[in-house]
């Protein structure tokens, strides 16, 4: 069994280069609801890839959008007729609830998925921001500029590999890979401190396996 099957026992989907592990927006929204007493209305996926998470957030009645620095829609794999973007929910025993390619393309056409860096975005307006993997692609000097984009949101859920993940995977004889150059590999406590230094109260949520940060207002 791969370490990611243990860390993300809930959602995987096919994307252009293989399989992506992620957190279902419904689970993110339930943590938001526990904190604020109501469901988030707006959702922003920072590093949205082909937009499966944005689509699932919309299916869960959130007004969702996202950006990615890389244009997955232009890749050969995405344009291939057999590409499905199929999510499989491991905990639910692989429900094979499909996300049609045409729906993902529509997200792009509607401007719900835009190709740009978070660093080129205006401060994000959304109840809930989701960062899967993306924060580790910035160096320590740039992270404050990224977190500053989220000062107006109500909650940031950030999941990425930390030292603890590398140690746990190593015990299983595995090296964790990533699709981009990692710039910041740190222990969980370092991330909690970094959120605090940038205006957020953050905790590590063990159910989501994710940092949950709310702005200190
Ligand atoms: C692990 S994927 C997350 C995909 C999706 N959010 C999910 O959870 O299924 C991380 C994404 O962050 C994107 N990314 C990296 N640097 C970025 C930046 N500066 N601005 C926006 N996206 C970026 C990568 O291209 C990659 O698609």
pLDDT in tens, 119-130: 999 999 999 999
3-state secondary structure of 157: strand
Is residue 91's pLDDT more than 70?
no
3-state secondary structure of 190: helix
pLDDT in tens, 29-42: 999 999 999 999 99
Domains recognised in the chain with CATH numbers = 3-215 (3.40.50.150)
Residue 14 Cβ inside 6 Å of ligand 1? The answer reads: no
Going from the Cα of 45 to the center of ligand 1, the distance in angstroms, rounded, reads 8
Going from the Cα of 49 to the center of ligand 1, the distance in angstroms, rounded, reads 6
Residue 117 Cβ inside 6 Å of ligand 1? The answer reads: yes
What mean pLDDT is reported for the chain? 92
- Long-range CB contacts (< 8 A, 24+ apart) of 135-141? 135/160, 135/184, 135/191, 136/160, 136/161, 136/178, 136/182, 136/183, 136/184, 136/185, 137/180, 137/181, 137/182, 137/183, 138/183, 138/184, 139/183, 139/184, 140/183, 140/184
Task: Give the span between the Cα atoms of 90 and 165, in whole angstroms.
Answer: 20
Given the CA of residue 178, which atom of ligand 1 is nearest to it? 1
pLDDT in tens, 151-194: 999 999 999 999 999 999 999 999 887 767 788 899 999 999 99
């Amino acid at each position: 069994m791969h370490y990611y099957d243990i860390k993300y026992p809930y959602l995987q989907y096919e994307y252009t280069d293989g399989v992506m592990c992620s957190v279902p927006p419904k689970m993110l929204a339930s943590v938001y609801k526990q904190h604020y007493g109501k469901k988030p209305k707006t959702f922003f996926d920072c590093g949205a890839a082909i937009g499966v998470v944005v689509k699932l957030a919309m299916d869960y009645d959130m007004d969702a959008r996202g950006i990615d620095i890389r244009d997955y829609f232009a890749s050969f794999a995405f344009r291939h007729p057999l590409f499905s973007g199929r999510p499989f929910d491991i905990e639910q025993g692989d429900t094979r609830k499909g996300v049609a390619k045409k729906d993902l393309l529509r997200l792009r056409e509607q401007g719900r998925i835009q190709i740009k860096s978070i660093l080129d975005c205006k401060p994000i307006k959304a109840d809930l921001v989701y960062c899967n993997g993306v924060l580790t692609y910035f160096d320590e000097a740039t992270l404050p500029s990224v977190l500053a984009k989220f000062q107006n949101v109500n909650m940031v859920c950030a999941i990425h590999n930390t030292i603890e993940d590398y140690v746990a995977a190593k015990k299983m004889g595995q090296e964790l890979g990533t699709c981009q150059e990692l710039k910041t590999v740190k222990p969980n406590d370092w991330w909690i401190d970094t959120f605090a230094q940038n205006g957020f109260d953050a905790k590590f949520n063990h159910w989501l396996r994710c940092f949950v940060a709310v702005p200190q207002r």
